[in-house]
Amino acid sequence: MDLYLILFYFFAIITLVSAFFVVTTRNVIYAAFNLMLTLFGVAGFYVLLGADFIAIVQLIVYVGGILILLIFGVMLTNKITDTDIKSGFLNRVPGLLIVGTFAGILIGTLLKSTWRIAAPLPPPVAGLVGIGNLLMTEYTLIFEILGAVLLIALIGAASIARKQSN
Amino acid sequence: MRHQIYLAILLPLLGFLFNGLLGRKIKNEKIVGAIGSGAIGLAFLVVLVSFFETVALPAEQRALIVPLFSWLKVGLLEINIGYQVDQLSLVMAMVVTGIGFVIHIYSIGYMHGDKGFWRFFTYLNLFIFAMMNLILADNFVLLFLGWEGVGLCSYLLIGFWYDRKFEKSTTSDAAKKAFVVNRIGDFGFLIGMFFIYLNFNSLNFTEVFSRAGVLSGIPESTFNIIALCLFIGATGKSAQIPLFVWLPDAMAGPTPVSALIHAATMVTAGVYMVARCSILFASAPLALTVVAVIGLATAFFAATIGLVQNDIKKVLAYSTVSQLGYMFLALGMGAFTAGIFHVVTHAFFKALLFLGAGSVIHGMHEEQNIQHYGGLKKYMPVTQRTFLIAAIAIAGIPPFAGFFSKDEILWKAFSHGGFFFWFIGAVTAMFTAFYMFRLYILTFEGKPRFDSAHVHPHESPKLMTIPLMILAVLSIVGGFIGLPHVLAGEHGNLLENWLEPVFKVADARLLRSAESSGSLEVLFMVLSVCIAAVSIYFARRVYLNKPAIADKAAGTFSGLYRTLLNKYYVDEAYDAAVVTPILKTSRTVLWKFTDVKIIDGLVNSTASLFTGLGERMRKLQTGVAQFYAVLMIAGIALALFWLISIIN
Amino acid sequence: MIPVQDLFASAPLLIIGGSILIALILEMVFDSQSSIVAWFSGSALLFTAYWSLYHLYDRGFAFNNMISISGRTQLLFFIVNFAAAVVVMFSMDYIKKIQTNYGEFYILLLSAVLGMMLIAAARDMVIVFIGLEQMSICFYVLAGFRRKNIKSNESAIKYFLLGSFATGFIVYGMALLYGASQTFSIPEYLAHVETLKSNPIFLLGSLLFVIGFTFKIAAVPFHMWVPDVYQGAPTNVTAFMSTAGKVSGFAALITFLSPFIDYSARTTGSAKFFMPFLATLSVLSMLYGAIVALSQSDVKRMLAYSSIAHAGYMLIGLSALSYEGVDGVLFYLVAYTLMNLGAFGIISILETQDEKMLKIEDFAGLSSRSPLLAAFLAVFLFALAGLPPFAGFFGKYFVFVSAVENGMTWLAIVGVISSVISVYFYLRIIVLMYFSKGENTEVVSVPKSALLGVFVVFIMFVIMSAFPQKFEGIIHTIGLLTY
């Protein structure tokens, strides 16, 4: 077994196990910390795929930003030490059954289908410069409208947060 | 103007839009009334000019189609909006816009002070718009749209005083009844249209009729089915057995509406439609016989019911049903011209009778029972004189309009149907004269039977009496357009010559030619005049001189009397045979079965089944978001499962 | 450098995008009670609607073939802009009535329109996705715009949760599609459709992607959010979501399914891969929507179920996967947008501050309280019921014909049955309005701008009903220009 595979399984296990705990734990704080591991594992995949820029962004934005925000949110909205924030379950059995079937069918399809392993991918665009060039040329539109999406997310958030008079 | 005939349709629409949008704001009755009537008056002018233009043309150039635009075109089916200007549609259009105009004028007086004044004119203009579409349509779909449109207006106008009581229930119930009964007829009509499309691959009049005109291997049975389905539609709209029950109830609407819609124009739509499809009916002997028999039976039974009714409008309503029966008798005999002739004259005198009745009701403070009238002659002389003219016209005394048209029908009944048809028709004519003069005498002659301390009868305003006079003149001279050959001399029957090209193919199919009539026809004419005169004499004697005879007769034949008074219990029979079982089933079986609350009275059994189902399925909507997500996943899982199963 | 013709071609997008920014500034500069933002947004939307109508027959691509401005795109631009402009007219008084008169309402509306236009124009899956997000974020906020109202909040949260859930499937589907084809470009799919169709991963991805959008168009069984959200959201927002939102969902489906649509011959087989799937959804939606609507007592909820049923009718045309079917769907979409806008607009006028006039019984005797509104509502309801001679009937007719021509007569029959059922609940309101006496006899005060909105919709609708053939002809022609 070469190092690449070992690393892959390492990240895979981290991702899966922590994701499982995110869903099953009843304590929101634990869920948040497990989510951090999950996101970290995914970042590992990006590194393995050679997309180091995205891996860094994943770490900075998700682990460093969003997750911290999430934990802050939980801590500020509740006296965390006194009461545990619990999330309950509804329709456990039918839910499990249906999700199990769904997962089974998905895995089945993926196993059965032939993946194009042989076809070599075009050499990845190297580094930040390449990505920057692409964003400003071929993908200008996407770049611009993502800006619009972020703007509207801001406005939306402001709108929700603003004080409404009676 | 012939090529701009759509103006005659557009003008009522404009009037409708104007009054509908602004009427409530304007509030001024003069403006609303002038716009409403003016639109119809102008439409009448358009039709009139077109008529004279058409007269000036040689016979073979008279028919004209004015296509406007293609409305729908999918596959083979192509529906155009186009109008047909030919002899038949022009006659009908003149009657509708002409009488419509007069009645609009009358309504300005009649509806004065009503809070729904603008609404009334809005509906009335919409009605004329729909009716003109029906008459001028050049294809079945447009005709059907007009057909539904007039039905809608009729519904709206019957229920116009939705807050008033009508007999045991409300005007809304009467409107609902008209609506439901007409739907049954429309269903037949739709099926008829479907069969026409199936067999002729078109719904365009010109194409269908020309294909039907050349016998192209379509079996007679097909024609029979088509004609019968169309006729079911006609029985609904034109109040024939078995679907006539709605028309007497339709009298819940304002009286001008009864005159315009439920006497002069809309109810004759069925007659027009059959005449328009003359070739289809002429190719269907069985259907033609059915039309004749139903027409005759309706004429007879309605006339007998009319003998004993006490509500002035009810008598006129049954009279209308009976006269419509005459028209269908004529159509059934293959005498399409005679049918249309009677449509025209009937429009004159029946509109007059209704408007006269409206004038009486107006003067008598909404009293409608003729037993509470009497001696109104001296209070309302104009109404009385015009009413008398109309009564003479419908009774069939020459030279008034009704005589010629009715006599033509009776003569055709004899020459094509045989003695039996003539005999029943003549007896009906006798009844007609009797009940009409009973009505006249009880209303205008004799001593007052109302409480003169509280009721002060008065003549109606000029706006109402002038229309009466116009219609009275028409009721007198209207018959001369269709003088029988015996009397007409060298010019012959004007209307018959005029309409001849329209019915040429159908006449040829029926092997009818313009037959010469001889002394026998004159004999029958004299005979029917005698019958009418005797009948009038009896009515006068019984109700003016010896009212006791009537009561005695009612006592002696109490069973028959009560049967007639209760209209042969047809409503009750329908209730017992159709309505109650449906209601019962829904109550005992379906309600308990599905255990649902019924939301309102309109719900019938099928609806309650579905609402029950809906109640059950509604439970899925729990409001819990997780559950929604689970259902989504279930749906996706099923879809994926399907995908896998088809990939392999 | 961006070519100038790209900028010109995507002018509608730029106008709306720029308007968002200007509206933001206006909102900041002017007093919060002033309706300048509303007027500005309304004019911008109307102008864009006019622009796209004017350029209806243009052809072309822009931004590296990522968006197309030809054919159907312009028509869809027109529908969403027109709908949004009418919603602005409805909202001017409505949001004052519900005490949420904030300028950002219009900014969110404009942004949603931008997202919808991106979806309509997209020829690249990434654009579809970003457009969808843009639209959805606005919808989430708008649904909960009435923050003092618990139902409005519930509606927003539910919509957000389930919407994100559906988005998850779309993204997953897109990942699989990319894995199978190494491209997001729809023209590429179109070019290589024969090879791609034999790849299970591609099909799996397509299915998940399509399912994500059937959520947006509210097809059963992915409809569960609709009744709760439509009922809870402010009525003007519901009017917008249920029309323009549905148009965008169908736009995305039509765009994505185009490789599967058979343009040349009416063959069945592998070309019709999605046929049974969409037909099943269609049957479920039509029947479920129609039947459950029968037992509703809230008008907005009833119309929500009715919109589920209408999604079902439109899916008939889509499941035929034929050219005629898609034309029929577009015709239906325009007609549906107009009649639903009209109906919701009138409801938003009638609704009172304390949320009265939302029960069906409240409509009793409306004809005497406001004859004009009652008459308009009656026409829109007749049309929704699919009765001739209104455009709703022709929409149904076109999709039914496309089903019959593609050998799915049974589907058309189910459609007819469900239409017959649905006639009942539409007519019930009409009967109540005209033939019952209500307890409330107060005359309705009608704000001018909202009435103008209803009137504009009504006029458009009448024109469409009078000339369905012309409309169908236009839709057919621009459909030919699309590829």
Tell me the pLDDT band of B598, cut-offs 50, 70 and 90. very low
Q: What percent of chain C has pLDDT over 90?
A: 45
Q: How far is Cα C101 from Cα C84, in angstroms, rounded to an integer?
A: 17
Residues A83 and A135 in one domain: no
| Chain B residues with CB-CB distance to A112 below 8 A | 644, 647
Per-chain mean pLDDT for chain C: 88
Min distance B618 CA to chain A CA atoms (Å): 19
Closest residue in chain A to residue B644, using alpha carbons only = A109
* 106-165 of A, contacting B, C-beta below 8 A: 106, 108-109, 112
Q: Give the three-state DSSP class for C32.
A: coil
Q: Which residues contact B616 (CB under 8 A, 6 or more apart)?
A: none
Q: Which residues contact B340 (CB under 8 A, 6 or more apart)?
A: B88, B91, B92, B271, B272, B275, B495, B499
Phi, psi of B317 (to 5 degrees): -65, -45
Q: How far is Cα C237 from Cα C49, in angstroms, rounded to an integer?
A: 19
Tell me the pLDDT band of B593, cut-offs 50, 70 and 90. very low
Q: Which of B134, B193, B636 to mutate to test the interface with C (most CBs of C within 10 A)?
A: B636
**Could you report the per-residue pLDDT of B20-71, keeping only the tens digit for each?**
878 777 778 888 889 999 999 999 999 999 999 988 888 788 888 888 888 7
Phi, psi of C247 (to 5 degrees): -60, -45
Q: Is A102 on the interface with B (CB under 8 A)?
A: yes
Measured CB to CB, residues of chain A less than 8 Å from chain C are 106, 109-110, 112-116, 121, 138-142, 145-146, 148-149, 151-153, 155-156, 158-160, 162, 164-166
Question: Residue C379 in contact with residue C458, Cβ under 8 Å?
Answer: yes
Closest residue in chain A to residue C27, using alpha carbons only = A155
Q: Which amino acid is at A56?
A: I
pLDDT at B584: 64
pTM here is 0.76
Contact B633 A94 (CB under 8 A): no
Q: Out of A3-12, B104-113, B569-578, C143-152, pick the least confident.
A: B569-578
Q: Is C421 on the interface with B (CB under 8 A)?
A: yes
**Could you report the per-residue pLDDT of C392-434, keeping only the tens digit for each?**
888 998 899 888 888 888 998 899 888 888 888 888 888 888 7
Residue B204 bridge partners (DSSP): B139
- Give the count of Cβ contacts less than 8 A between chain A and C: 83
**Could you report the per-residue pLDDT of A149-162, keeping only the tens digit for each?**
999 999 998 888 87
Residue C308 bridge partners (DSSP): none
pLDDT at C262: 64
Q: How far is Cα B238 from Cα B273, in angstroms, rounded to an integer?
A: 10
DSSP label at residue A115: P
Q: Is B21 on the interface with C (CB under 8 A)?
A: yes
- In chain A, the number of structural domains is 2
pLDDT at A122: 62
For B78, the token pair is 């192509």
DSSP annotation string for C123-192: -BHHHHHHHHHHHHHHHHHHHT--TT-HHHHHHHHHHHHHHHHHHHHHHHHHHHHHHHHS--BHHHHHHT
| Domain edge (last residue) among A41, A68, A88 | A88
Which of left, alpha, beta for C365 (phi over 0: left; psi -120 to 50: alpha)? left
Q: Where are the domains of chain B?
A: 139-536, 569-647
Tell me the pLDDT band of C15, cut-offs 50, 70 and 90. very high
Give the Cβ contact number of residue A161 at 10 Å: 8
Decide if pLDDT at B599 tops 50.
no
The CATH number of the domain holding residue A16 is 1.20.120.1200
Q: How far is Cα B290 from Cα B268, in angstroms, rounded to an integer?
A: 18
Rg (CA), chain B: 27
Per-chain mean pLDDT for chain B: 83
pLDDT at B297: 92
| Domain edge (last residue) among A88, A108, A138 | A88
Q: Is A103 on the interface with B (CB under 8 A)?
A: no
| Chain B residues with CB-CB distance to C294 below 8 A | 607, 610-611, 613-614
Write out the residue range of the structural domain in which residue C148 sits. Answer: 4-481
Q: Is residue A103 part of a domain?
A: no
Decide if pLDDT at C361 tops 70.
yes
Contact B641 A106 (CB under 8 A): no
Q: Is C63 on the interface with A (CB under 8 A)?
A: yes
pLDDT at C268: 46
pLDDT at B516: 54
Q: Is C144 on the interface with A (CB under 8 A)?
A: yes
Write out the residue range of the structural domain in which residue A141 sits. Answer: 125-166
Give the Cβ contact number of residue C168 at 10 Å: 12
**Could you report the per-residue pLDDT of B600-646, keeping only the tens digit for each?**
444 455 556 666 676 777 677 777 777 888 888 888 888 888 887 77
Residues A84 and A161 in one domain: no
Compute the average pLDDT of residues B210-223: 81
Q: Which of C207, C296, C470 sits opposite B639 (nearest CB)?
A: C207
Compute the average pLDDT of residues B317-346: 91
Q: Which of A109, A148, A156 sits opposite C200 (nearest CB)?
A: A109
Contact A102 B643 (CB under 8 A): no
Question: Residue B442 in contact with residue B370, Cβ under 8 Å?
Answer: yes
Q: Which of C17, C108, C179 sits opposite A155 (nearest CB)?
A: C108
Q: Which chains are within 8 Å of A by 3+ CB pairs?
A: B, C
Contact B637 A94 (CB under 8 A): no
Q: Is C167 on the interface with A (CB under 8 A)?
A: no
Q: Is B625 on the interface with A (CB under 8 A)?
A: no
CA dist list (Å): C29 to B72, C22, C100, C104: 52, 10, 19, 13
Question: Residue C210 in contact with residue C253, Cβ under 8 Å?
Answer: yes
More confident residue, B616 or B368: B368
Per-chain mean pLDDT for chain A: 81
For C451, the token pair is 């009435």
Q: Is residue A59 part of a domain?
A: yes
Contact B610 C291 (CB under 8 A): yes
Compute the average pLDDT of residues C339-344: 94
Q: Is residue A148 part of a domain?
A: yes
Q: Is A87 on the interface with B (CB under 8 A)?
A: no
pLDDT at C118: 94
Strands B64-74 and B77-85: antiparallel
Q: How far is Cα A19 from Cα A31, in angstroms, rounded to an integer?
A: 9
- The ipTM of this complex is 0.87
Q: Is residue A47 part of a domain?
A: yes
Q: Which amino acid is at C225?
A: W
Contact A114 C141 (CB under 8 A): no
Closest residue in chain B to residue C224, using alpha carbons only = B628
Min distance C227 CA to chain B CA atoms (Å): 8
pLDDT at B597: 43
Q: Is residue A119 part of a domain?
A: no
| Chain B residues with CB-CB distance to A105 below 8 A | 637, 640-641, 644
Q: Is C14 on the interface with B (CB under 8 A)?
A: no
Q: Which residues contact B590 (CB under 8 A, 6 or more apart)?
A: B605, B608, B609, B612
Tell me the pLDDT band of C269, cut-offs 50, 70 and 90. very low
| Domain edge (last residue) among A41, A70, A88 | A88
Q: What percent of chain A has pLDDT over 70?
A: 81
Strands B169-170 and B165-166: antiparallel
Contact A155 C140 (CB under 8 A): no
Decide if pLDDT at A120 tops 70.
no
Q: Which of B624, B640, B643 sits opposite A90 (nearest CB)?
A: B624
Q: Which of C99, C137, C182 sits opposite A149 (nearest CB)?
A: C137
| Chain C residues with CB-CB distance to A91 below 8 A | none
Decide if pLDDT at C438 tops 70.
yes
Q: Which helix (H) or strand (E) holds A38?
A: helix A28-48
Q: Is residue A50 part of a domain?
A: yes
Question: Residue B195 in contact with residue B218, Cβ under 8 Å?
Answer: no
Nearest alpha carbon to residue C330 among C177, C189, C203, C481: C481
Of the CA atoms within 13 Å of residue A96, those in its CB half-sphere come to 6
Contact B626 A105 (CB under 8 A): no
